Amino acid sequence: MNITRRRALGWLAGTAAALGAPLVWMSQMKTYAGPPSDHFDGARFFDPDGVPPKSLVDLLRWQLGSNRQRQAWPEWVPSPHADTPPPAVNGTKARLSYVGHASWLVQTAGLNILIDPVWSMRASPVAWAGPKRVNDPGIAFEALPKIDVVLVSHGHYDHLDTATLSRLTARFAPRVITPLGNDVTMRGADAAIKAEAFDWHDRVDLGGAAVTLAPTRHWSARGLFDRNKALWASFVLETPAGKLYIVCDSGYGEGKHFRGVAQAHGPLRLAILPIGAYEPRWFMQDQHMNPADAVKALADCGAAQALAHHHGTFQLTDEAIDAPVVALHAALDEANLPRERFVALKPGQVVEI
């Protein structure tokens, strides 16, 4: 491959691999086929309360615009924390360890559950280009306890990491619960991945806990030709410690999805809400919340406590690395909410409930 072509492909991977933008990577995967529904037209999924993702023209306008104000991130920002989880957590407790970006380990009811696990160095379709992590996972892969279940919210590369799923499968062979169509992607990469695909509102018994896939305002793709051919979702995880509402990626819109979860699943003990990858707003607002949106989402869903994620590990958009946490504190102050109600952890930190 010549240098010019390699740089061009690297640019495409780096600007589109993990963003709420059209992914311009060629995808040869088979895609979901099933009956139409109120959010599937027979070919593509859609959010009846959302908007379509931005176009390639919009992506180029953002990336190449003369007024772009992309803030530089440090090359490496190590977390001062590292977790070594126990083998299991039983009784009425839940233990949540922040791995980084949108990845978590939830231990409850004797189960070890990973959320959107990404241990790869890049959130990208290629190993040599694309968004590169600036800190190690908060749990070393070798320090993981036996993983029973993995929840994968959608197909963007910063959430569905087939390399990590293959490592987990080889070591633990966990169940992988995911929205419709993402199982096709997973098995296309590694036939051994034990992927199970479900629709919005489906409830899955995990044995001691259960998870329901909830509608969320987002979209999905891994290539130019498979946009919205796999579904996306948030998760409501029922545990002995209460219900956890896990939103891996979402825009805010009018807040309907958050209020809907409160009505269908409340009361919620804890919400995990994204606060990063939001600038510029004209491009990102329909698919990624900013911290002010996340504070409104907390009020809408009514959770007793919130934890922030989707920030500080991969630079996907234009804001500075510390901007989401600074803006979260400002939004909480503006809403007259105590800062301890909605906390941003660093990789390797742990919360027990």
End-to-end CA distance of the chain: 52
What is 94-352's CATH number?
3.60.15.10
User: In the chain, where are the structural domains located?
Assistant: 94-352
- The pLDDT of residue 6 is 44
CA–CA dist 39, 140 (Å, integer): 38
Three-state DSSP at 234 gives strand
Distances (CA, A) of 273 to 23, 276, 303: 24, 10, 11
CA–CA dist 155, 261 (Å, integer): 22
Residue pLDDT, tens place only, 198-223: 999 999 999 999 999 999 999 998 88
CB 191 within 8 A of CB 197: no
Residue pLDDT, tens place only, 37-82: 999 999 999 999 988 888 888 888 898 887 888 999 999 999 999 9
- The pLDDT of residue 323 is 98
Q: Is 307 exposed, middle or buried (0-12, 13-18, 19+ CB in 10 A)?
A: buried
- The pLDDT of residue 29 is 54
Residues with pLDDT less than 70, the chain: 1-29
- The pLDDT of residue 60 is 86
- The pLDDT of residue 136 is 98
Token reading at 201: 């509102």
